[in-house]
Amino acid sequence: MSDNLPRMDYRQHRRARRLVHECCNYDEGNCLLLDDGEPCVCVQSISYSLMCRWFRVAVLPLDGELSAALLYRGSRKRCAVCGAAFVPKSNRGKYCPDCAAKVRRRKEAERQRKRYHLSTHLGAFKPL
């Protein structure tokens, strides 16, 4: 079972440990799902692999970059602007969601600026 679980390096483990506190089943270091009368330590907080299914499905997507790095290793890409790892929505995806909006606005402004310049600065070559 542990052969196909994604392994984390130290930096990823530290980021995941911060996310463990966001889990609804986390209670002062213990896991409520594993509680059978006596407290049980949250396995995700002590493991370097993604053992908890609930953590994988509900908590890990809160950190998109970490989620892309661990769950979508083969299909992830690097953003052309900031270099962050992300999972593209199509095979043409080039930017992470944060940078995509900025790039789209910048290109639209440049396109409108060029359009305005062409329409107002035709000079002697104005069509009749």
In this prediction the pTM is 0.53
E-strand ranges in the chain read 26-27, 30-31, 77-78, 85-86
φ/ψ of 13, rounded to 5, equals -65, -40
Average pLDDT of span 49-72: 82
Give 123's Cβ-side CA count (13 Å radius). Answer: 1
pLDDT band at 56, cuts 50/70/90?
Answer: confident
Between 61 and 4, where is the model more confident? Answer: 61
Question: Mean pLDDT lowest for which of 10-19, 27-36, 106-115?
Answer: 27-36
Per the DSSP assignment, residues forming a β-bridge with 30 are 27, 41
Over residues 70-106, the pLDDT tens digits come to 877 667 788 999 988 888 888 888 999 899 999 999 9
